[in-house]
Amino acid sequence: MILQPQLNYNNILEQFSPKFLILKDLTPKMRLEIASIAHTAQTLNMWGAITNLSKDYSVSRNFIYELLKVLKDTSSLIFAPSKAITQLSKKDAVAVMLHYRMIGRCSLESISELMKIRSLPFSGLGTISEMLSKIGNTLPSNIKLDKNMRLLILIASDEVFSKSTPILITVDPISSAILKIEKAENRKGETWKKHFDEVKESGISVIGVVRDEGNGLALGAKESLPEAIYQVDSYHAIAHRFGELVGKLEKRVNKLKEADVKDGLEKNSKETEDAIELSDNFSYLYYCIINELKPFCHTGEIRNRASANGEIETALELMQTLGSDEVNKRAKSAKKVLPNLLNYFEQTKKSIEECQKEGVNKDALEFLSLAWQWGKAVVKAKDIDRKHRAIEQRDIYIYFAKELLKDEYESISQLVFGKLELIIQASSMVECINSILRPYLNNSKNNVSQGFLNLFMFYHNHRRYRAGKRKGSSPMELLTRKEQKEEWVELLMDSVEEANPSFFL
C-alpha cells in the first residue's frame, strides 16, 4: 500500500492569501478566490481562518460569509457536468443568469465571470445586461391577479431610497407580497395618488393604510383612498420619534458625569443633576407610552382603547413640562397623530371575537395572546438582555397554553396566531422588503432601473420562504390562498414567453 502524504492545508491557504495586498475594489475573480478559501477553511474546521482572511483582504467577516453563501447557492450550477452545461439552450442559460442574479445576488460582472468559468453560452456582460433588462421590462410594476379576483386588504406603504432616488413600495403586511414597487421622480401627493390608483386597478380593494406622516404619502392616500382607515405607523410615531432621544439624553448624562470627575467634584454638579432628572423622567414617560401601545394587558385581556389613549395623552403632556425644547417639540408633534394611533385596537377586538366564536377556551386565548405579544417583542428587541427576557416570557405562556390545551394545542394555537397576525401597527414590512432589496442596490452601485424593480417584485412574490412562520409558502400563495405549483423561475419564463413568444428563440 502506498501512503499518501498528509496535506498541510495551512500552507496551502497561505499560498493563496495575499497579505501584501490592500484591496479597495475586489474583482469578481478575487471574490471567488476569497469564497473558495473560506469554503476550504470552513470544511476543515480551521479556527480563526475567516478572521485572518478578513484581515488579509481588508474586508469584514460578514462580507466573507456573504460570498461563501453565494458560492454554496450557485455551486450546483458552477460544477455541473461540462457536457450538460455547454449544451444549454438560450432559455436554460437565461435561467442560470436569473438564479445567479436573484438567489446569488450577483452583480452583472460576477454573473459573466461565473458563466465564463464553465464556458456557458450567452455569457458576455452586454448580453446578460440586455437580456435581464428585457425580462424586467416585460413585467408589470404592480401585482398581477387573476381577472375575476378581488382582494379586500389593509396595505402598508412607504418610501425607500436608492441614493437620492425615491422608490415607492406598497405591500400586504400579512403575506409580505409586494403590491406595487416603482422608481419615482418625487414623493409628492400626485405621485402617491397615481401609485395607489394603480394598486386598485390590480384588483385590490383597500380597507386601510398603515403609513408614516410624510406629507406626500398622506395627501396621495387621502385623495386616492378616501374611505380607507388610516393607521398611524406606531414605530415612526412613537419609537422612532422618542427612542433615539432616550439614548441621546443618557449619553449627555454620562458625558457630564465624566466632566465632573475630571474637575475633581465629589458630587454631581447642578447641570449633571438636572440632566439626570430629565433623562430619568423622559425615559419613564416614554416606556409608559410604549406599554400602552401593546394590544393586551399583562392579564391577557384586550387593553381598553379609551384608557390607553388617555394614558398616552397624559404622558405626552407631562413630557411638555420637563423643560426641554427638544422633548417639548417631539411631544407636541406626537399629540397630532394620537387620534389615529390606536386604530389597530379595533382589529384586536375583532380577532379575539372570531377566536371566541370558534370556541377557544378563555384562559387559553389569554395565554396565547400574551405569547403572541411577547413573540413580537422578541423580533423588535435590539438589546440582547431584552430579547432573552422576551423569549423567556413568550415560552412561559406557550407552556401554560400547552398544559391547558394538550393535544389541541397545535390546531388552536395556529388558529389564534393566524387571527392575531391581522393586527398591524406599523409599516415595518416595507422595511423588511428594503433589507432584502438593499444588497441588490449595493451590487449595482444604486443604479437601479424600473425593469430590475419589476424583476425583484416578481422574484420576491413567487419564491418560497425557506424558514420562519411562512416557511414553504410564497407571498403570492399566502395572499391569494391559491397553490403555486411551479417555482418562481419557471413562472417567470412562462410570463416572458406570454409577453414575447419569440424571446427565447
Which residue range is the domain that position 285 belongs to? 234-340
Residue 147 or residue 114, greater confidence:
114
Residue 60, in any domain of the structure: yes
Pick from 49-58, 72-81, 241-250, 278-287: least confident: 72-81
How sure is the predictor about 81, in pLDDT bands with cuts at 50, 70 and 90? low
End residue of a domain, out of 293, 311, 340: 340
Q: Are 475 and 179 in contact (CB under 8 A)?
A: no
CA distances, 466 to each of 32, 214, 398, 472, 473 (Å): 25, 34, 24, 6, 8
| DSSP, res 118 | T
Which residues lie below 8 Å from residue 121, measured CB to CB, with a gap of 6+? 86, 88, 90, 93
Residue 100, in any domain of the structure: no
- Tell whether 333 and 348 lie within a shared domain: no
- Tell whether 183 and 259 lie within a shared domain: no
- Tell whether 351 and 316 lie within a shared domain: no
Q: What nine digits make up the cell of 289?
A: 407610552
CA distances, 430 to each of 160, 222, 245, 345, 374 (Å): 8, 20, 24, 21, 22
Nearest to 271 by CA among 243, 279, 331: 279
pLDDT at residue 260 is higher than 80: yes
Residue 41 or residue 289, greater confidence:
289
- Tell whether 257 and 275 lie within a shared domain: yes
CA distances, 82 to each of 104, 266, 320 (Å): 21, 78, 72
Q: Phi and psi dihedrals of 473, rounded to 5?
A: -115, 155
pLDDT at residue 54 is higher than 90: no
pLDDT at position 44 is 77
Residue 335, in any domain of the structure: yes
Cα(193)–Cα(275) distance, rounded to whole angstroms? 45
pLDDT at position 12 is 39
pLDDT at residue 294 is higher than 90: yes
Mean pLDDT (whole number) for 176-182:
95
DSSP assignment of 300-314 equals: SSBPPHHHHHHHHHH
DSSP assignment of 132-153 equals: HHHHHHHS-SB----TT--EEE
DSSP assignment of 454-492 equals: HHHHHHHHHSPBSSSTTBT--HHHHHH-----S-HHHHH
Nearest to 428 by CA among 161, 196, 169: 169
pLDDT at position 15 is 42
End residue of a domain, out of 307, 340, 373: 340
| DSSP, res 107 | -
Cα(213)–Cα(200) distance, rounded to whole angstroms? 22
Residue 143, in any domain of the structure: no
Cα(50)–Cα(64) distance, rounded to whole angstroms? 8
Residue 293, in any domain of the structure: yes
- For 231, left (φ over 0), alpha (ψ -120 to 50), or beta? beta
Q: Are 93 and 121 in contact (CB under 8 A)?
A: yes
Residue 240 or residue 457, greater confidence:
457
- Tell whether 242 and 322 lie within a shared domain: yes
The separation between CA 340 and the C-alpha centre of its own chain, rounded to angstroms, equals: 24
Which residues lie below 8 Å from residue 446, measured CB to CB, with a gap of 6+? 162, 163, 165
- Tell whether 351 and 334 lie within a shared domain: no
Residue 192, in any domain of the structure: yes
pLDDT at position 400 is 96
- Tell whether 186 and 200 lie within a shared domain: yes
Model pTM score: 0.75
From the number of C-beta atoms within 10 Å of its C-beta (0-12, 13-18, 19+), residue 234 rates as buried
Mean pLDDT (whole number) for 185-190:
93
Cα(239)–Cα(30) distance, rounded to whole angstroms? 42
DSSP H helices in 45-146? 49-57, 61-78, 82-86, 90-98, 108-117, 125-138
pLDDT at position 289 is 96
Residue 165, in any domain of the structure: yes
Q: Are 196 and 221 in contact (CB under 8 A)?
A: yes
| DSSP, res 296 | B
- Tell whether 167 and 222 lie within a shared domain: yes
End residue of a domain, out of 294, 312, 340: 340
pLDDT at residue 88 is higher than 80: no
Q: Give per-residue pLDDT as tens, 1-37.
A: 333 344 343 443 444 444 334 444 677 778 888 888 8
- Tell whether 210 and 238 lie within a shared domain: no
Cα(457)–Cα(143) distance, rounded to whole angstroms? 8
Q: Give per-residue pLDDT as tens, 443-495.
A: 777 678 999 999 999 999 999 998 888 889 999 999 999 999 999 999 999 99
Please give the torsion angle defined by the CA atoms of residues 218, 224, 228 and 230, in that order, rounded to the nearest 10 degrees: 0
State how beta strands 165-171 and 229-232 pair: unpaired
pLDDT at position 79 is 63
**Overall size of the chain counted in residues:** 505
- Tell whether 308 and 375 lie within a shared domain: no
Residue 125, in any domain of the structure: no
Mean pLDDT is highest, among 19-33, 143-157, 277-291, 420-434, for 277-291
Question: What share of the chain in percent tops pLDDT 90?
Answer: 63
CA distances, 39 to each of 44, 45, 72, 504 (Å): 9, 10, 9, 36
- Tell whether 238 and 323 lie within a shared domain: yes
Question: What share of the chain in percent tops pLDDT 70?
Answer: 92
Nearest to 65 by CA among 54, 75, 52, 79: 54
pLDDT at residue 160 is higher than 70: yes
Query: How many structural domains is the chain composed of?
Result: 4
pLDDT at residue 85 is higher than 70: no
The separation between CA 298 and the C-alpha centre of its own chain, rounded to angstroms, equals: 29
- Tell whether 239 and 335 lie within a shared domain: yes
pLDDT at position 457 is 96
Mean pLDDT (whole number) for 311-331:
95
Q: Give per-residue pLDDT as tens, 99-144.
A: 999 999 999 999 999 999 888 889 999 999 999 999 999 999 999 8
Mean pLDDT (whole number) for 219-247:
90
Q: Phi and psi dihedrals of 205, rounded to 5?
A: -100, 120
Kindly report the average pLDDT of the chain as a whole number.
Answer: 88
| CA angle, 172 then 208 then 376, to 5° | 55
pLDDT at residue 77 is higher than 80: no
- Say how many C-beta atoms besides its own lie within 10 A of residue 106's C-beta: 23
